[in-house]
Chain A
Amino acid sequence: MAKIGVLALQGDVSEHVLALERAGEGKIQAILVRKSGQMEECDALVLPGGESTTICRQLESSGLTDELKAASLSGKPILATCAGLVLVSKEIMGNRESLVKPLGLMNIKISRNAFGPQKESFEADLQVKGLDRPYRAVFIRAPAIGEVGRGVEVLASIGDTVVAARQGNLLALAFHPELTQDPRIHQIFLKMLEA
């Protein structure tokens, strides 16, 4: 049975566990990754939503930063949502402080909190490449992908703003598929295990 590790330092971890179990239909096991050594046991990883400043700091203090980079380089599928998207990017545009250090796993530049404060958070029916019907996407103080580099496939946009992309083993989203009951995004992610 495939083991999917959900990075459990901070954020909506249990929602991802439930979403994975729903999409996996008993064929996967979700485990919480909090300590050094746990990522190695996992076949794939999820970087949940939360506060990127906090998650970044806790990655460092838990000694998990290098293990996460190694897991990505080894080709393990990684689903990164919201704060996770910030982490996997190579650069934060207009970064005015250095508290969040992106890991540079994906050839994208992002802008944090691109849509404004919580009152500008929104739900939208999104056309996602590979899905036949629109996906109800939940954006919460969301980042956006500002620049897409070589090797990156854009999966969804709102106007000119890219909000979902894939590069090899990395699937990165500005929204939260774990907050809705629709399993299709997590199913796409689990399919990446078969490749």
Chain B
Amino acid sequence: MELENLRFGTELLKRGFAKMQKGGVIMDVTTPEQAVIAQEAGAVAVMALHAVPADIRKMGGVARMADPAIIEAIIEAVTIPVMAKARIGHFVEAQVLEALGVDMVDESEVLTPADEFHIEKTKFTIPFVCGARNLGEACRRIKEGAAMIRTKGEAGTGDVSQAVLHMRMIQGQIRSLKGMDDLQLMKVAREIEADLDLVKECASMQRLPVVNFAAGGVATPADAALMMQLGADGVFVGSGIFKSENPAAMAGAIVEAVHHYDDASLLAKVSKGLGAAMKGLDASTIPETEALQNRGW
């Protein structure tokens, strides 16, 4: 086999990588030790960042990409894929993450946005995941090259309500496309500021053309199973694990809950005796200007 026959960074490879995460839990970690706990608990991947969203909220200031030394140590510590967050629009942070050997970049509203524009993700070899609250936002991110979508939810709150809202919104909008003719789809595409071909694809597939995970407020096994029953392909858990009383037990229980999301007796069993979940914050009490989900467009 001649090496020049190999092709890297294709759309198929990017979306394929995301598909391998399906039915799994991706966990936020800030240290190699946490990454090992996540891996042992059955995480399909870890997300490296400098502080979990709940702490970012408390600390205030500008939230940036994690220290490359920490990211390297996390890559060294585990064999599962390592993802890391870059600021919205900060394509140089994304370039640095790609150079470090990170497997996927999360262009995340949890960090302080760097630009009104999002990153041109088609220019990268590694895949990106982006947050979305509705179908228009999801299609804009996919058009820019996102290989995976997640709900924005409201990160760092431990309040699942916003993730539910965003998942229902995207699913509902896709269902409403069913049976529409081309002119009607064109009108929807214009209204939600989305690419027409992507809208047509969603209409015929009756789902997003990329993997769609739940994120932003998942704090318990029941939360994770709720998102799966609502149609999520998998779950991101941020503060929910390492802000809980017993992270290893909580992590393992959430993995079980995602795999057996429709088995209530098993959910009851895995939810027992986990210690306190993260304290959390009622998302409806957050002033609109401080809500992370309003970052990006």
Contacts and interface: CB of A to CB of B under 8 A. Distances in A.
A104 B98 CA distance: 35
B79 to A, nearest CB: 6
Given A51-B80, A53-B39, A54-B44, A123 B6 contact: yes
Contacts, number: 125
Interface in B7-45: 7-10, 12-13, 16-17, 19-24, 39-40, 42-45
Q: Is the interface of B mostly helix, strand, loop or mixed?
A: loop
A12 B22 contact: yes
Contacts of A13: 22-23
Contacts of B24: 10-11, 50-51, 54
Interface residues of B, number: 39
A140 B125 contact: no
Interface in A103-152: 112-113, 116-127, 138, 140-141
6 tightest A-B CB contacts, nearest first:
A118-B103, A51-B44, A10-B23, A12-B19, A117-B101, A122-B6
Interface of B: 1, 5-10, 12-13, 16-17, 19-24, 39-40, 42-45, 75, 79-81, 98, 101-104, 125-127, 255-256, 259-260
Given A124-B1, A124-B7, 20 more contacts: A8-B23, A11-B19, A49-B19, A50-B21, A51-B21, A51-B80, A53-B79, A112-B79, A117-B75, A117-B103, A118-B126, A118-B127, A122-B6, A122-B7, A122-B13, A124-B6, A138-B13, A140-B13, A141-B103, A159-B1
21 contacts: A11-B22, A12-B16, A49-B20, A50-B20, A50-B21, A51-B24, A51-B44, A51-B81, A53-B80, A54-B43, A54-B255, A58-B42, A61-B256, A118-B13, A118-B103, A118-B127, A121-B17, A138-B12, A140-B17, A141-B103, A158-B1
